[in-house]
Structure 1
Amino acid sequence: MQELFLIGIGTGNPDHVTREGTRAIRNADLILIPRKGSGKEDLAGLREQIITGLSDTPPPLAHFDIPKRRADDGYLQGVEEWHDAIARRWQEAIADHPEARRVALLIWGDPSLYDSSLRIAGRLDPKPAIRVVPGITALQALTAAHAIPINELGAPYVVTTGRRIRDEGWPDPVTSVAVMLDGECSFRSLDADRYDIWWGAFVGMPEQILIHGPLGAVSQQIIDTRAAARAEHGWIMDIYLLRRRAG
């Protein structure tokens, strides 16, 4: 049976790849490399740099284009159709290399946290044996970069998306919320005087940017910094932690 390895590679720092991940990369017969379109070539290039940096004889690479996601039928329906389309691209790339028994995909962060690789892999037919190699998540990288714990003493926390913060507000009763997949700086929808924020972009990479402070004081700085960094690089990966003050 063909095996598909989903390898968590952290947030762009080659040192984030575990020894298990390194072995999986070196032992792969084929590695799939997604291309996300104009202006985002660096993302494929970073994956290729990690592969060549960890293997003296890198395995063959198969590039494929990520299809565009539709939103006219609603968010969830659009995502389901998008995943179907991506699965077809994987299937086509793998079919072009029938001799490859161990196929790998390098996953930013870890396949367990706000990543759909496992759901997409489940759509493949025939379905390969799926192997997950865990990696450092963006959430771990953020708290490490700011040298903070994610939760307060004995307290729970929530990991959510910018869309849910924007549409549903603060998820009571927790006081700590990590926000991912937020292209619109959705913290603007909250009462800024009640929160502190720890924000990071390109966390763990040489381009890392960190901002921390009362949300009301640093909100515009984050918005402006994010826009400038995205314009400079053509893409951005960012994440932030919000903590509600007592009272």
Structure 2
Amino acid sequence: MLKLSLIGIGCGDPQQLTRAAIGAINAADLILIPRKGSAKFDLAELRRTICAEVLTNDRTRIAEFDLPVRDAGEEDYRKGVDDWHDAVAATWSRQIADHLGHEGHVALLIWGDPSLYDSSLRIAQRLDPLPKIDMVPGITSIQALCAAHALPLNEIGGPFVVTTGRRLRDGGWPAGVDTVVVMLDGGAAFQTLDPKGLQIWWGAYLGMPDQIIMAGELAETGPRIVAVRRAARERHGWIMDSYILKRRS
């Protein structure tokens, strides 16, 4: 029997690891660490640091591998993502077969929580052979963002929507809510909104030493976030950020 554990590791701070995550790391026979190119070296290095700090099982092996790159020029976004997921699943399957075979316990350390805006579960279900999948929840970037700003996410009795930058840009403000959480936004989609009456709480590299947070009225703070975001991306070669928008009723 082949078992795959997807272990949520939080947003960058090794102290965000749960005891369940530490136990799952040490229960694995093999830990796979994906490399996403030199521009995202920090992401692989974080996983190495976590293993160095909490891995006490000397029988657990670590293997690093290069991830396929998604074709951002694909006109059909959904097909492009599906094709990429197929390529990643094939890469995972090869790595597992090469290092573990068809029996044993393999683990991947998932940034944030594998349940929310993460492709790992969908990719895992495409593996051949299909393993028994186990998921260990982790702290999400939403939790980390709220904690960084000391901000309650929802208003009393009020709903909120979690969406993507693409959906916010294409569809505008979601109906029926005054609070919107935006993730996977590569282009600061808040710039497409009428900023009147909107506040923003933004954060990048949450939980990491380079964490940046900014908050304020969108009309005033939005342009500053765009400038800071651009500079941070140029400095690091990559950026992972999210934000919360609230509309005054």
TM-score interval w.r.t. the shorter chain? over 0.9
How far off its partner does 1:237 sit? 0.9
Aligned runs of 1:50-199 on 2, under 5 Å? Answer: 50-57=50-57, 59-70=60-71, 71-98=73-100, 101-199=104-202
Distance 1:57 1:23 in 2: 10
Gap runs ≥5 in structure 1: none
Measured in 1, the distance between the counterparts of 2:61 and 2:231 equals 36
Separation in 2 of the partners of 1:51 and 1:159?
Answer: 31
* Offset of residue 37 of structure 1: 1.2
Shift of 1:232: 1.4
CA–CA distance in structure 2, aligned partners of residues 38 and 209 of structure 1: 22
Deviates more, 1:222-231 or 1:62-71: 62-71
What's the counterpart of residue 48 of structure 2?
48
Aligned to 1:12: 12
> Once the two structures are superposed, what CA deviation does each residue of 1:188-222 show, in whole Å capped at 9, x if it has no partner?
00001221000001112221111000000101110
Measured against aligned partners, the alpha-carbon deviations of 1:77-98 in whole angstroms (never above 9, x if no partner) come to 1000000000001001001123
Cα offset, 1:230, TM superposition: 1.2
CA distance in 1, matches of 2:41, 2:217: 35
Question: What is aligned with 1:204?
Answer: 207
CA distance in 2, matches of 1:63, 1:92: 12
Return the alpha-carbon distance in structure 2 between the equivalents of residues 192 and 83 of structure 1: 36
Provide the residue aligned with 2:31 in structure 1: 31
Amino acid at match of 2:31: I
User: Any runs of at least 4 consecutive aligned residues in structure 1 with deviations exceeding 3 A, and if so which?
Assistant: none
Name the SS of the counterpart of 2:187 in structure 1. coil
Post-superposition Cα deviations, 1:89-110, rounded to whole Å, max 9, x if no partner, equal 1001001123561100000110
Q: Secondary structure at the match of 2:39?
A: coil
Equivalent in the alignment of 1:240: 243
Amino acid at match of 1:55: L
Q: Distance in 2 between matches of 1:72 and 1:34?
A: 23
Report the CA distance between 1:135 and its aligned residue. Answer: 0.3
3-state SS of 1:39 partner:
helix
Over the aligned positions, Cα root-mean-square deviation in angstroms equals 1.1
List runs of 5+ in structure 2 lacking aligned partners: none
Scaled by the length of structure 2, the TM-score of the pair is: 0.96
CA distance in 1, matches of 2:236, 2:54: 25
State the identity %. 57
What SS does structure 2 have at the residue aligned with 1:96?
helix
1:221 and 2:228 correspond: no
Q: Give the SS at the match of 2:182.
A: strand
In 1, distance between residues paired with 2:82 and 2:207? 31
- Offset of 1:15 from its aligned partner? 0.8
